[in-house]
Amino acid sequence: MARPIKPRKILFNPNVTYFKPRAIPLSVLEEVDLKVDELEAIRLCDLRGLSQTEAAKRMRISQSTLGRILSSARRKVAEALVKGKAITIRKK
């Protein structure tokens, strides 16, 4: 049996939850789902410039968990930018 996911503290509630490339109809776009905890990790580390250790403390998770979340988030954002996919921000 898998261990239950520990609740993560999210201090940011995004007003915008969808990004898409310009001039491409929604009907032909593929989407990448970005979880809100992945967005929070990017916000704390890349936008605010916090270390992974400090960001992990703020999210109340371990540094290794934050590293995995951040890696996943960056991979998804890179895929969307390089392949021209839309980004949907999901609560879970």
Domain ranges of the chain: 31-90
Question: First vs last Cα of the chain: how many Å apart?
Answer: 21
Give per-residue pLDDT as tens, 7-61: 788 888 888 999 999 989 988 999 999 999 999 999 999 999 999 999 999 999 9
The size of the chain, in residues, is 92
State how far the Cα of 61 lies from the Cα of 71, in Å rounded to an integer: 15
What is the CATH number assigned to the segment(s) 31-90? Answer: 1.10.10
State how far the Cα of 49 lies from the Cα of 38, in Å rounded to an integer: 15
pTM exceeding the 0.85 threshold for the entire prediction: yes
State how far the Cα of 70 lies from the Cα of 38, in Å rounded to an integer: 6
5, 9, 24, 21: which is closest to 56 by C-alpha? 9
Give per-residue pLDDT as tens, 32-46: 999 999 999 999 999
